[in-house]
C-alpha cells in the first residue's frame, strides 16, 4: 500500500482507541450536543448521518463522565457501525473493512459527499491508499475515465476476486450487452471470449486502443503458438498477418457466423484487400476482385468460394503462399512433385502418358498435348503458360495472355467441339482434333 496519508492513518488509529476527552466540558452543556453551538457544524453539510441528525450521539458516544465531558465508544471497530448496519461479509473483504476502519472512508457524522465519504470523489478516496490505476495509460476505459470505481468494485466485500461485483465476464457484459448478444447469437464463439474478457482487455485502460493488453498479432500469438510457429517457419509470408489490424483484419475476436471466426465468407474476406493492385516488395499483384469480375469462367475451387483450397493464408514454404509446390516461372523441367498443387486435385497421368484416348481432351488424335508441352526435361511449359488458375474468359481456363518477361504473350485459343486451336506468341496457328489428328506444319 502506498500514499497512506497521515491524516487517515491517524484517524483510523485514534478512532478506535476507546475514548475521546475534551479538556473541560462547555459551561452551558446540558447533554444536547448540536444545540449548544459546539457541534452544530455537522448539520451544515450536504449529507448528515441519520443518528447525528436525530441528535442520537449516544448511539456511538457513551458519556462515562459527564463532569469531565468524557465519552467512550459504544463499540469497538466495525462493531460500532454494525449495531445498525449489516456486517460486510464475503469471500474477499477489503483490507480496511476487515480491519474495522470504516472511518478511513466514511465520516461518522456528516459529509459534503454522498455516502458520507471522506473524499469528494471515488478516485480521490481510493487514491488515498492506492496508486493511480490509470497512471500513464494512453487509453482509459469509459467508466474509469468517469471516475467510477464502485461500478465494478465493491468497496467493502465481495464473493469474487479483486472485490469485483460479479465474476469476470459478468463484470463486463453487464454494460456491454451488445457483445454478450453477439456471443450468444453467433454460431462460432471464441473460447476465451465466452469466459475471460480479461484475457485480452485491461479493465482500467491500456496503452493500446480498445484497452487491449497487447496489440494483435502478439495478443493472439500468446495463445496460438501453432500459428506463431507457422509464421516463424514460413519462407513466404503474408503481410496481412502483421500489418494494420493484423489477425483481426480477418478474424473476429469474440464470435462470428463463419467458421474459424472469420469476419466474412472466406472469399469475400480475401477480396476486402485483394480488390486493388497490392504490392509485394516491388512486385505489383493482380487485382483478384477485378480479375474475377472480368473473367466469368472460374476455376472449380473458386466457384466454391475457396481461396484457401490453394493458398496458405498464414504463410508457408511455397511460392505465392501455395499449399503445395508449383513452379514459379514460364518454363520448368518436368517432375511430378513440382506440380503437387495441381495434382492434389487433378490426375498426374494427364501430363505423364505420351499417348492417350481418355486422360485429357488436350490431344491431337492420341497424342497427348499436355505431355508434349509440359513433360519435358528442358523448357517444359508450366500450366500457367496456357491456363489462368483463377479465372478466364475462355473455356478450360485458357488465358488470354501470359507474362513472358516484359511482354504479355497472347495465346489466342479457340475451342471446337472436338478440339481447338491456338496461335500463341510461341508458334504459328496450330490445331488439334481428338477424333482425327490434324497435321500441323512445323514452325
Range 155-214, binding ligand HEC (CB under 6 A): 155-156, 162-164, 169, 171-176, 179, 190-193, 196-201, 203-204, 210-212
**Alpha-carbon torsion (303, 344, 332, 441), positive or negative:** negative
- Burial (0-12, 13-18, 19+ Cβ within 10 Å), 275: middle
Minimum CB distance to ligand HEC smaller for 25 or for 51: 51
Q: How far is CA 162 from CA 59, 150, 168, in A?
A: 34, 12, 10
Judged by CB under 6 A, the residue of 137, 255, 295, 299 near ligand HEC is 299
Q: Are the C-beta atoms of residues 255 and 182 closer than 8 Å to each other?
A: yes
Query: Do 180 and 255 touch, CB atoms closer than 8 A?
Result: no
The three-state secondary structure class of 407 is strand
Rounded to a whole number of angstroms, the minimum distance from the CB of residue 401 to ligand HEC is: 12
- Of 24-32, 62-70, 358-366, 435-443: span binding ligand HEC (CB under 6 A): 358-366
For residue 117, the 8-state DSSP code is B
DSSP string, 138-189: SEE-HHHHTT--TTTB-SSEESSGGGBSS-HHHHHHTT-HHHHHHHHHSSEE
- In the bound complex, what is the minimum distance in angstroms from residue 290's beta carbon to ligand HEC? 11
Cell reading at 188: 462460432
Q: How far is the CB of 273 from ligand HEC (least distance, A)?
A: 3
Residues in the interface with ligand HEC (CB under 6 A) total 173
Least Cβ distance, residue 2 to ligand HEC (angstroms): 9
Q: What is the largest CA-CA distance in the chain?
A: 135
86-101 exposure pattern, b = at least 16 Cβ within 10 A, e = fewer: eebeeebbbebbeebb
Beta pairing partners, 398: 387
Residues 6+ apart with CB under 8 A from 231: 217, 221, 237, 241, 314, 315
Shortest distance, position 267 Cβ to ligand HEC, whole Å: 5
Rounded Cα–Cα distance for residues 42 and 111 (Å): 8
Minimum distance from residue 19 beta carbon to ligand HEC (Å): 10
Contact 415, 430 (CB under 8 A): no
Report how far residue 251's alpha carbon sits from residue 238's, in angstroms, rounded to the nearest whole number: 15
User: Is residue 429 a contact residue for ligand HEC (CB under 6 A)?
Assistant: no
Site string for ligand HEC, 224-263 (x = CB under 6 A): x-xx--------x-xxxx---xxxxxxx-xx-----xxx-
The answer to the question of residue 122 lying near ligand HEC (CB under 6 A) is: yes
Least distance in Å: CB of 266 to ligand HEC?
5
Which C-beta is closer to ligand HEC: that of 178 or that of 441? 178
Q: Scanning residues 79 to 118, which ones bind ligand HEC (CB under 6 A)?
A: 80-81, 83-85, 88, 92, 94-97, 101-106, 108-109, 114-117
DSSP letters along 346-368, please?
A: S-THHHH-SB-SSS-S-EETTEE
Report the residue number, 134 or 441, with the smaller CB distance to ligand HEC.
134
From residue 366 to residue 405, what is the string marking binding to ligand HEC with x (rule CB under 6 A)? ----x--xx------x-xxxxx-xx-----xxx-------
Residue among 137 and 386 whose Cβ is closer to ligand HEC? 386
Options 79, 265, 300, 333; binder of ligand HEC; rule CB under 6 A:
300
What whole-number distance in Å separates Cα of residue 93 and Cα of residue 105? Answer: 15
Residue range at the interface with ligand HEC (CB under 6 A); choices 24-32, 62-70, 300-308, 435-443: 300-308
Task: Considering the complex, state which of residue 117 and residue 137 has its C-beta at the smaller distance from ligand HEC.
Answer: 117
Q: Considering only residues 25-64, where is the footprint of ligand HEC by CB under 6 A?
A: 33-34, 39, 42, 47, 49-52, 55-57, 59-61
String marking each residue 305-344 x if it binds ligand HEC according to CB under 6 A: -xxxxxx-xx-----xxx---x------------x-xx-x
* Least spacing, CB of residue 83 vs ligand HEC, in Å: 5
In angstroms, the CA 320 to CA 81 distance is 73
Q: How far is the CB of 334 from ligand HEC (least distance, A)?
A: 8
Residue nearest to ligand HEC (CB): 300
Amino acid at each position: 500500500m502506498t500514499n497512506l496519508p497521515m491524516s487517515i492513518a491517524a484517524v483510523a488509529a485514534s478512532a478506535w482507541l476507546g475514548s475521546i476527552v475534551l479538556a473541560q466540558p462547555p459551561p452551558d452543556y446540558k447533554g444536547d450536543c448540536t444545540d449548544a453551538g459546539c457541534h452544530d457544524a455537522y448539520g451544515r453539510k450536504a449529507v448528515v448521518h441519520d443518528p447525528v441528525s436525530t441528535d442520537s450521539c449516544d448511539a456511538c458516544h457513551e458519556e462515562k463522565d459527564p463532569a469531565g465531558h468524557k465519552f467512550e465508544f459504544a463499540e469497538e471497530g466495525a462493531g460500532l457501525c454494525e449495531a445498525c448496519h449489516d456486517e460486510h461479509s464475503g469471500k474477499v473483504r477489503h483490507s480496511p473493512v476487515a480491519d474495522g476502519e470504516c472511518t478511513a472512508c466514511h465520516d461518522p457524522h456528516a459529509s459534503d459527499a454522498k455516502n458520507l465519504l471522506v473524499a469528494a470523489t471515488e478516485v480521490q478516496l481510493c487514491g488515498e491508499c492506492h496508486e493511480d490505476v490509470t497512471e500513464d495509460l494512453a487509453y482509459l476505459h469509459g467508466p474509469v475515465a468517469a471516475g467510477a470505481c464502485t461500478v465494478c468494485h465493491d468497496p467493502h466485500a465481495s464473493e469474487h476476486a479483486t472485490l469485483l461485483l460479479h465474476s469476470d465476464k459478468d463484470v463486463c457484459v453487464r454494460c456491454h450487452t451488445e457483445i454478450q448478444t453477439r456471443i450468444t447469437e453467433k454460431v462460432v464463439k471464441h473460447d476465451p471470449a465466452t469466459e475471460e474478457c480479461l484475457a485480452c482487455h485491461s479493465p482500467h485502460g491500456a496503452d493500446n486502443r480498445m484497452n487491449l493488453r497487447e496489440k494483435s498479432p502478439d495478443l493472439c500469438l500468446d495463445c496460438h503458438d501453432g500459428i506463431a510457429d507457422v509464421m516463424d517457419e514460413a519462407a513466404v509470408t503474408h503481410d496481412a498477418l502483421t500489418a494494420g489490424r493484423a489477425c483481426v483484419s480477418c478474424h473476429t475476436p469474440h464470435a462470428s457466423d463463419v467458421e474459424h471466426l472469420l469476419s466474412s465468407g472466406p472469399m469475400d474476406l480475401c477480396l476486402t484487400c485483394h480488390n486493388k493492385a497490392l504490392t509485394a516488395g516491388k512486385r505489383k499483384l493482380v487485382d483478384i476482385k477485378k480479375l474475377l469480375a472480368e473473367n466469368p469462367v472460374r476455376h472449380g475451387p473458386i466457384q466454391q468460394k475457396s481461396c484457401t483450397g490453394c493458398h496458405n493464408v498464414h504463410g508457408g514454404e511455397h511460392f505465392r503462399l501455395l499449399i503445395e509446390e508449383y513452379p514459379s516461372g514460364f518454363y520448368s523441367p518436368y517432375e511430378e512433385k513440382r506440380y503437387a498443387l495441381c495434382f492434389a486435385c487433378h490426375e498426374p497421368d494427364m501430363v505423364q502418358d505420351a499417348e492417350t484416348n481418355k486422360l485429357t481432351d488436350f490431344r491431337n488424335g492420341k497424342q497427348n498435348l499436355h505431355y508434349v508441352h509440359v513433360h519435358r526435361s528442358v523448357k517444359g511449359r508450366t500450366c500457367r503458360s496456357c491456363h489462368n488458375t483463377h479465372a478466364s474468359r475462355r473455356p478450360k481456363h485458357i488465358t488470354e495472355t501470359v507474362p513472358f518477361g516484359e511482354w504479355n504473350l497472347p495465346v489466342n485459343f479457340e475451342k471446337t467441339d472436338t478440339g481447338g486451336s491456338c496461335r500463341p506468341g510461341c508458334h504459328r496457328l496450330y490445331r488439334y482434333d481428338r477424333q482425327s489428328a490434324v497435321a500441323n506444319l512445323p514452325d
